[in-house]
Amino acid sequence: MKRTALASAVAIALAFASVPAAQAATPVAAPTVFSPANPPAVWDLTPLYPSDAAWDSARASLLADLPKLSALQGTLGTSPASLLKAMTAISDARRALYRLDTYASLKADENTKIDANQARRQLSDSAGNQFEQATAFVPAEISAMGKDKVEGYLAAEPALGKFRYQLETMLRLAEHTLKPEQETLLAAAADPLDQPQAIYSLLTNADLPWPQITVRGKKYTLDQETYVHLRADRDPQVRAQVFKAFWPVYKAYERTIGAVYVAHLRGTVFNARARKFDNSLDMFLSKGNTPEAVYRTLVAETNKGLPTLHRYFKLRAGLLGLKQSQYSDIYVPLATPPKTYTLAEAEQLTLKAVAPLGPDYVDTLGKNFLGSWMHAVPQVGKRSGAYMSGVAYDVHPYVLTSFNGDYESVSTVAHEWGHAMHSVLANGAQPFETADYAIFIAEIPSTTNEMLLADYVAAHAKTKAEKVYALSQQLELLRGTFFRQAMFAEFELKSHEAIEKDQSLTGADLTKIYLDLLKRYHGDAEGVMHIDDLYGAEWEYIPHFYTDYYVYQYATSISAAAYFAEGIEKGDTKLRDQYFNMLKAGGSDDPYQIVKRAGLDMASPAPYQAIIARMNKVMDELDALTK
């Protein structure tokens, strides 16, 4: 996941304000760069700021500059030089803000129980909101200038070129731009509207009362990280024990978390209505000028492909010797993992897997592994999940994960470093103003790396058991990244639409919506997999829902990733060049158009039909291997 907490919020606001991841791999030469036996496992934040005091000083400096930005109001349309002065000053402040937010967020996520770090994050969020208020006048002034005048200024002042895409985006969104005083009011409302996500994060990461369980004589605190580990246990009774102990915690907070999420939804719908969008989906897709057909085609084609998903569950049940597949059986591997991995081994395996991307990519990634860019050590209070933060343009990306030695952890390393390398390439090819890329593209290189890893492991399996495990991991990647994320996308759409229709929505209502989807996607009515009603609470576990309309892009991205990975593995150098051009494009154009130039129309059924066909092909291979 590409982390876009403040960056995404600012980008959303500034779109109206100032516009702030089965086939054998082709043999290739072994990479020459490897990580050391004990690679850095904790990040070093001093390249951002040498101390908390330095951060405080930088924040004070930024806040002192904000009145100067406000004073630019009324000057943008007076001359090309005035427009350049204003856009440059705003961009410089945004650059400083992103760096501030990166430090504050990374420090806070190391340990959510440290109050001082949470306070610093709040100060960063406040600075971001003040920045938005100070620059809220920009879209209205650009809209008032009109296309002809803006184009004239761009022609007269070449230095404005790096702001072209921002300016054109503001002109395109002019009908959703409000009067300056209204923009200022909406900018001021951003902080309270952001609070549901902050409350959810603190509640679920720091305050939920995790139960104690005993498995084979060993006691565990069943928190989120332990759940992820134990849910894949080979013993079905242990898996059932884990599920029945873990999910009641969320079920007990259904009303509270439901109220928090509904507050978030209402804030989103409020913004969409205030800006005169047809609906919240329209608002989020309009930012990148992405056709609504992309979202709706994905959902439609995924539902058409559910028989393939059900085939997979039946295949799993047979290979696991289960008479009736349960939801608690969904994470157990079909074969015993051949080994556990150290972080060094995970990095080395990733370097080998991405070798089809070329020696320059491998060399750069290997060198970056040597830097202290990643926090991989599990620890109490650490934010759950994994992400990459790459908006500190003048420093380097950072990666957060909790490495536990299983294959999923290795895949996460490959995924998040796919994000990091995307940022390295985009930052190297683009100025700050067009370097940060949209989520729509962000998940493609990360998922491409995952697919290259899965294909590499399958191609280099030395035994039948290893091959079965590798193929099953490919199928899990497709299930989890395509079908599961599309199910999440459908849940998001239904939840937002309920608020947009002014329907009442409670935690219990959200659980029912999610449970209905869970049963349909997993074939409960068809007898494919039994879904206990308790597991309808799973929606409360998904933090991505607080970044509206994010998760669908995992599903679109794996469809694109399959296309790129398969072609690049076959040695298609032209396609590889198109792939790298897509990454280096950063945010210099509409993301849908950037991907389309690389050869894919994500609004058509073809990419989704192809990924479903790939899943059937892998199942054919696994079925033949295990008969």
Each residue's pLDDT tens digit, 337-351: 778 999 999 999 999
User: How many contiguous H segments (helices) and E segments (strands) does the chain have?
Assistant: 25, 5
Work out the pLDDT band at 1, boundaries 50, 70, 90: confident
Q: What are the tens digits of pLDDT across the range 382-391?
A: 998 899 999 9
Tell me which residue of 178, 151, 142 sits closest to 13, measured CA to CA. Answer: 178
- Per-residue b/e over 522-531, b at no fewer than 16 CB within 10 Å? bbbeeebbeb
Chain centroid, CA 381 distance in Å: 21
Residue ranges covered by each domain of the chain: 27-47+287-500+524-530+548-627, 49-197
Q: Are 118 and 112 in contact (CB under 8 A)?
A: yes
pLDDT recorded at residue 336 = 82
CATH for 27-47+287-500+524-530+548-627, options being 3.40.50.2300, 1.10.10.10, 1.10.1370.20, 3.40.50.620: 1.10.1370.20
Q: Under the phi-then-psi rule, with left for phi > 0, alpha for psi from -120 to 50, and beta for the rest, what region is 548?
A: beta
Helix or strand run (H / E) with residue 578: helix 573-584
List, in sequence order, the alpha helices (H) in 174-322: 180-202, 224-230, 236-252, 254-274, 280-287, 292-304, 306-320
Pairwise pLDDT comparison (370 vs 27), residue with the higher score:
370
Q: How many CB atoms lie within 10 A of CB 416?
A: 27
How far, CA to CA in Å, does 231 sit from each of 106, 234, 322? Answer: 28, 9, 16
Is pLDDT at 25 greater than 50 in this prediction?
Answer: no
Q: How many CB atoms lie within 10 A of CB 341?
A: 20
User: Per mean pLDDT, which range of 95-99, 395-399, 461-465 is the poorest?
Assistant: 461-465
Give the residue-averaged pLDDT of 421-434. 98
Beta bridge partners of 213: 220
Work out the pLDDT band at 4, boundaries 50, 70, 90: low
Chain centroid, CA 77 distance in Å: 37
Tell me which residue of 514, 564, 556, 558 sits closest to 535, measured CA to CA. Answer: 514
What does pTM read for this prediction? 0.84
Question: In this structure, what token pair is assigned to residue 483?
Answer: 């079908």
Chain centroid, CA 111 distance in Å: 21
pLDDT recorded at residue 338 = 79
The amino acid sitting at 193 is L
Q: In three state form, how does the secondary structure of 461-508 look?
A: CCCHHHHHHHHHHHHHHHHHHHHHHHHHHHHHHHHHHHHHCCCCCCHH
In sequence order, the 6+-apart residues with CB closer than 8 A to the CB of 199 are 260
Give the residue-averaged pLDDT of 502-523. 98
Give the residue-averaged pLDDT of 235-244. 98
pLDDT recorded at residue 27 = 33
List 110, 168, 416, 450, catalytic entry = 416
* Separation of alpha carbons 450 and 415, rounded Å: 6
Domain topology for 49-197: Butyryl-CoA Dehydrogenase, subunit A; domain 3 (1.20.140)
In sequence order, the 6+-apart residues with CB closer than 8 A to the CB of 64 are none
Is pLDDT at 110 greater than 90 in this prediction?
Answer: yes
In sequence order, the 6+-apart residues with CB closer than 8 A to the CB of 245 are 211, 213, 222
Q: What are the tens digits of pLDDT across the range 276-327?
A: 999 999 999 999 999 999 999 999 999 999 999 999 999 999 999 999 999 9
Is pLDDT at 48 greater than 60 in this prediction?
Answer: yes
Please tell me the number of Cα atoms within 13 Å of 81 on its side-chain side: 0
**Please, what is the average pLDDT of the chain?**
92
Q: Are 405 and 375 in contact (CB under 8 A)?
A: no
Using alpha carbons only, what angle is made at residue 458 by residues 467 and 303, rounded to the nearest 5 degrees? Answer: 95
Beta bridge partners of 214: 219
Tell me which residue of 142, 141, 133 sits closest to 66, measured CA to CA. Answer: 133
Q: Are 213 and 222 in contact (CB under 8 A)?
A: yes
Active site residue 416: yes
Using alpha carbons only, what angle is made at residue 173 by residues 168 and 174, rounded to the nearest 5 degrees? Answer: 95
Q: Are 337 and 469 in contact (CB under 8 A)?
A: yes
Q: Are 281 and 294 in contact (CB under 8 A)?
A: no
The percentage of the chain sitting over the pLDDT mark of 70, rounded to a whole number, equals 94
- Per-residue b/e over 383-398, b at no fewer than 16 CB within 10 Å? bbbbbbbbbbbebbbb
* Separation of alpha carbons 234 and 329, rounded Å: 9
* Separation of alpha carbons 569 and 459, rounded Å: 11
